[in-house]
Structure 1
Amino acid sequence: MFTDGACSGNPGPGGYGIVLIWNGKHYRREFSKGFEKTTNNRMELMAIVEGLKKIKPKNMAIKIFSDSNYVVEAVNKKWVFGWEKKQFKGKKNSDLWKVFLAYYRHHKITMEWVKGHSGHPENECCDKLARLALMQDKLKCDEGFVNLW
């Protein structure tokens, strides 16, 4: 899974892009969605959550490629599990982290950071999808963002 989030202003209109590839099968799908007001970190994390929702079988080995240090380090350095133990007190995006952790526990997920805007084809595709999504008319409301304020 390749993901990216984008925002025009932070907060501002935002979007995410996802590319799902199933190795060993002829499967590649692209997804995106835009929101009227959100943050870049929310879009980075939401892209991963929404991508995981699209994977129906359980106990899959899933490698997630993201250019978000925020997300990759939170998982790889196990910070998110400490946040969870403290019930995400003082942490933003807890709504998305809780959903992520539910999926994390149903799969074998590994996270890999990729440098953004470095020519990686799938990351560039996700970036394009996210940017196109945030420029659409009639953007959705990011309820989790609205509820933060």
Structure 2
Amino acid sequence: MSTFTEGSSGPRLVVHCDGACIGNPGPGGWAATIKLMDRDQEISRTEVVGSEPAKTTNVRMEMSGAIGALRALPENDGTPVAVFCDNEMVSKGMNEWLSGWIARGWRTAAKKPVKNVDLWEELAALATGRTITWHWVKGHAGDPYNEEVDALANAAAVQALQQPQGG
């Protein structure tokens, strides 16, 4: 289960985020829940949801879910944050690849340009100065928190599909 809070003491923020596309590329949606926890007690909860009616990709929506969550976090007071997402690229990007990409001028180890660099730069900037742990959770595997943000992201994608493009 993805609740790193069990048995932990002190306040912490627990984020679950996800993205969805109708077609890839296609209209997309993203969602995140942010819970302020103290031990196993949920103190407060915030949901953030967004969409992109123009053609976007699943990866961009996954990253947008994480960005939307970090944008919505309360002011940085040192409270640790755990981010759970079902896209390994997001968790590995933040845990393993980001520093190398930056050092190589946003190039991969194979010297190719990093895809979605605009979103990676924003995600890195939003994470700067915070204590964040990034966790991958298997999608569609019964984790109730992941299933919840998946449903919210898919609903946002459906709403995006119904919005007129370009206006």
Normalised by the shorter chain, which TM-score bucket?
Answer: 0.7 to 0.9
Task: Give the alignment partner of residue 30 of structure 1, picking from 47, 50, 57.
Answer: 47
Q: Which amino acid aligns with 1:56?
A: P
Distance 1:45 1:11 in 2: 15
Q: Unpaired runs of 5+ in structure 1?
A: 142-149
Alpha-carbon contact 1:6-1:130 (below 8 Å) kept: yes
Matches within 5 A, 1:1-149: 1-24=15-38, 26-36=43-53, 37-58=55-76, 59-77=78-96, 79-89=97-107, 90-136=113-159, 137-138=162-163
- Cα deviation code 1:81-133 (max 9, x no counterpart): 11112222411111111111112212001011111001111100100000000
Aligned length: 140
Q: Unpaired runs of 5+ in structure 2?
A: 1-14, 108-112
Distance 1:102 1:20 in 2: 19
- Cα deviation code 1:53-101 (max 9, x no counterpart): 1113213311000000111111222x11111122224111111111111
- Which of structures 1 and 2 has the larger relative contact order (alpha carbons within 8 angstroms, sep 6+)? 1
Q: Which structure is larger by alpha-carbon Rg, 1 or 2?
A: 2
Report the identity percentage: 36
| TM-score normalised by length of structure 2 | 0.78
Off by >4 Å, runs of 4+ in structure 1:
none
Helix, strand or coil for the counterpart of 1:135?
helix
Distance 1:134 1:64 in 2: 22
